[in-house]
Structure 1
Amino acid sequence: MAIVTVDFDGTLYKGDSFKIMFQIAKKEYTSKEWIPVIGGLGKAGISGIINGKNAFKKEFFKAFAKGFRGKTKQEMDTFFEKLVDLGKTEVHTELIDRIKEHQNNGDTIILLSGALQPFLEAFVKEVDLKDIHIISTTLTYYPNGVCTGELGNIVNGEGKVTEVKKWIMRAKKEGHISNEELHEIWAYADSETDIPLFHLADYPVVVNPTPAMKQVAVNNAWPLF
Structure 2
Amino acid sequence: MSDQPYPKPRADAPLVVFDFDHTLYAGDSGGHLVTWLLKRNPLRAVVALAASVVLGPMVAFLPTRRYGISGYIWIGTFGLHGRRSFDSLIDRYVATHRDEVRERLLPVALEVFRQHRAAGDRVVVATGAPPELARAILSFVAHEDVPVVGTAVGPRLGAVIATRHCHNEEKMRMLRERGYGDVAVAYSDSSADLPLLKAARAPVVVNPKPARIDMFRRVLPAGTPILNWGCRDRGGEPVA
Q: TM-score, normalised by structure 2?
A: 0.73
Paired AA for residue 16 in structure 2: V
* Deviation of the 1:46 alpha carbon: 5.8
* Deviation of the 1:103 alpha carbon: 1.0
* Deviation of the 1:76 alpha carbon: 4.0
**Which residue of 1 is the match for residue 41 of structure 2?**
29
Paired AA for residue 70 in structure 2: K
In the TM superposition, 1:144-159 aligns within 5 A as 148-159=159-170
Gap runs ≥5 in structure 2: 1-12, 228-240
1:11-52, Cα deviation, whole Å (9 max, x unpaired): 111212244225423541341x4476456534425646xxx5
**Contact 1:45–1:56 (CA under 8 A) maintained in structure 2:** no
**Which residue of 2 is the match for residue 79 of structure 1?**
93
**Which residue of 1 is the match for residue 234 of structure 2?**
none
**Contact 1:12–1:95 (CA under 8 A) maintained in structure 2:** yes
* Deviation of the 1:212 alpha carbon: 2.9
Q: Secondary structure at the match of 1:213?
A: helix
* Deviation of the 1:10 alpha carbon: 1.1
Q: Does 1:161 align with 2:186?
A: no
* Deviation of the 1:77 alpha carbon: 2.2
1:178-209, Cα deviation, whole Å (9 max, x unpaired): xxxx7x52110001111111111111000011
Supply the distance in 2 between the matched residues of 1:64 and 1:83 (Cα, whole angstroms): 20
Supply the distance in 1 between the matched residues of 2:130 and 2:96 (Cα, whole angstroms): 14
**Which of the two has greater helix per residue?**
1
Q: Secondary structure at the match of 1:185?
A: strand
Supply the distance in 1 between the matched residues of 2:62 and 2:112 (Cα, whole angstroms): 29
Q: Secondary structure at the match of 1:218?
A: helix
Supply the distance in 1 between the matched residues of 2:98 and 2:199 (Cα, whole angstroms): 30
Identity of aligned residues (%): 22
Supply the distance in 2 between the matched residues of 1:138 and 1:149 (Cα, whole angstroms): 10
Q: Secondary structure at the match of 1:140?
A: strand
Supply the distance in 2 between the matched residues of 1:23 and 1:88 (Cα, whole angstroms): 18
Supply the distance in 2 between the matched residues of 1:214 and 1:46 (Cα, whole angstroms): 25
**Contact 1:40–1:60 (CA under 8 A) maintained in structure 2:** no
Q: 1:8 to 1:224 in 2, by over 3 A?
A: same
In the TM superposition, 1:91-102 aligns within 5 A as 91-102=105-116
Q: Does 1:215 align with 2:224?
A: no
Size of the alignment, in residue pairs? 205
Gap runs ≥5 in structure 1: 172-181
**Contact 2:153–2:164 (CA under 8 A) maintained in structure 1:** no
Aligned-pair RMSD on alpha carbons? Answer: 2.8
1:74-101, Cα deviation, whole Å (9 max, x unpaired): 3442124335543322211111111111
Q: Does 1:224 align with 2:226?
A: yes
